[in-house]
């Protein structure tokens, strides 16, 4: 249906990650998660359809730049570096980085203890950057998929994982309780934003308006509660 003379399209291609619990992951053959619910609520509010495409995290920003995708949400941290190549919505989720180690590890209790260690993380992530810049002598063992990141710690090929706080927490809570534990504090506060291919200012402002509406009318809280409630 026409969008009443606005410059918006009827359908937007939305890229998401193949697996970043609990923001997007496959369950019974379908993509579910916080980001999926949020973008559907926003699309309803603004009045567009979405065509979801999932890809490895490190392919998302390049795909926005080449025009393969219009919009992306995948727990993408807003950074000044990324703002040079894509636009971001207002922040929609506060996160940060946390450490996970094997349940029987007694040596690693904070970021200082990661000096000179092998730290598993994901290719193209803010966490990979953090390890390279801030942890002296650490080797960042980088994988495309998060399953591989957690497996590296579980099988002992890495000493620890450093990754997004909600992801480490959710992974441990749902799958890793017997093998992994979270230690230390929140390192480097981050905020997630919806990313857009540049040149879609009208869409970005409509999405920001919708986000504000969903925060006011309780819909955002409902989605938050569904994925992060006790």
**Applying CB under 6 A, which residues contact ligand GLN?**
17, 20, 57, 74-77, 122, 125-126, 164
DSSP reduced 3-state for 22? coil
State in angstroms the smallest separation of the CB of 23 from ligand GLN: 7
State in angstroms the smallest separation of the CB of 153 from ligand GLN: 16
CB nearer to ligand GLN: pick between 77 and 102: 77
- Any residues with CB less than 8 A from the CB of 82 and at least 6 apart, and which? 61, 76, 88, 195
Phi-psi region of 60 (alpha: psi -120 to 50; beta: other; left: phi over 0): alpha
State how far Cα 35 lies from the chain centre: 9
Q: Which of 160, 177, 79 is nearest to 120 (CA)?
A: 160
CB nearer to ligand GLN: pick between 17 and 70: 17
Q: Is 213 exposed, middle or buried (0-12, 13-18, 19+ CB in 10 A)?
A: middle
- Any residues with CB less than 8 A from the CB of 106 and at least 6 apart, and which? none
- For the beta carbon of residue 132, count every other beta carbon within 10 angstroms: 14
CB nearer to ligand GLN: pick between 46 and 59: 59
Which of the 8 DSSP states describes residue 76?
P
State in angstroms the smallest separation of the CB of 16 from ligand GLN: 9
State in angstroms the smallest separation of the CB of 182 from ligand GLN: 17
State in angstroms the smallest separation of the CB of 61 from ligand GLN: 9
State in angstroms the smallest separation of the CB of 197 from ligand GLN: 17
CB nearer to ligand GLN: pick between 13 and 125: 125
CB nearer to ligand GLN: pick between 61 and 108: 61
């Amino acid at each position: 249906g026409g969008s009443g003379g606005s410059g918006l399209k009827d359908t937007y291609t939305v890229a998401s990650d193949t697996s970043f619990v609990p923001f997007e992951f496959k369950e019974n053959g379908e993509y579910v998660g916080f980001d999926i619910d949020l973008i559907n609520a926003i699309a309803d509010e603004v009045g567009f359809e979405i065509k979801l495409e999932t890809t490895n995290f490190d392919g998302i920003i390049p795909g926005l730049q080449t025009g393969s995708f219009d919009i992306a949400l995948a727990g993408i941290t807003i950074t000044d570096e990324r703002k040079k190549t894509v636009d971001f919505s207002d922040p929609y989720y506060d996160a940060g980085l946390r450490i996970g180690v094997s349940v029987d590890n007694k040596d690693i209790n904070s970021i200082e203890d990661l000096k000179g260690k092998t730290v598993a993380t994901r290719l193209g992530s803010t966490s990979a950057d953090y390890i390279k810049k801030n942890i002296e002598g650490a080797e960042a063992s980088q994988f495309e998929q998060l399953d591989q990141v957690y497996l590296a710690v579980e099988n002992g090929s890495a000493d620890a994982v450093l990754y997004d706080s909600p992801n480490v927490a959710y992974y441990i809570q749902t799958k890793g309780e017997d093998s992994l534990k979270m230690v230390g504090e929140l390192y480097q506060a981050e905020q997630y934003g919806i990313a857009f291919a540049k040149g879609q200012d009208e869409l970005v402002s409509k999405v920001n308006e919708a986000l504000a509406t969903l925060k006011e009318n309780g819909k955002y809280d409902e989605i938050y509660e569904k994925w992060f409630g006790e």
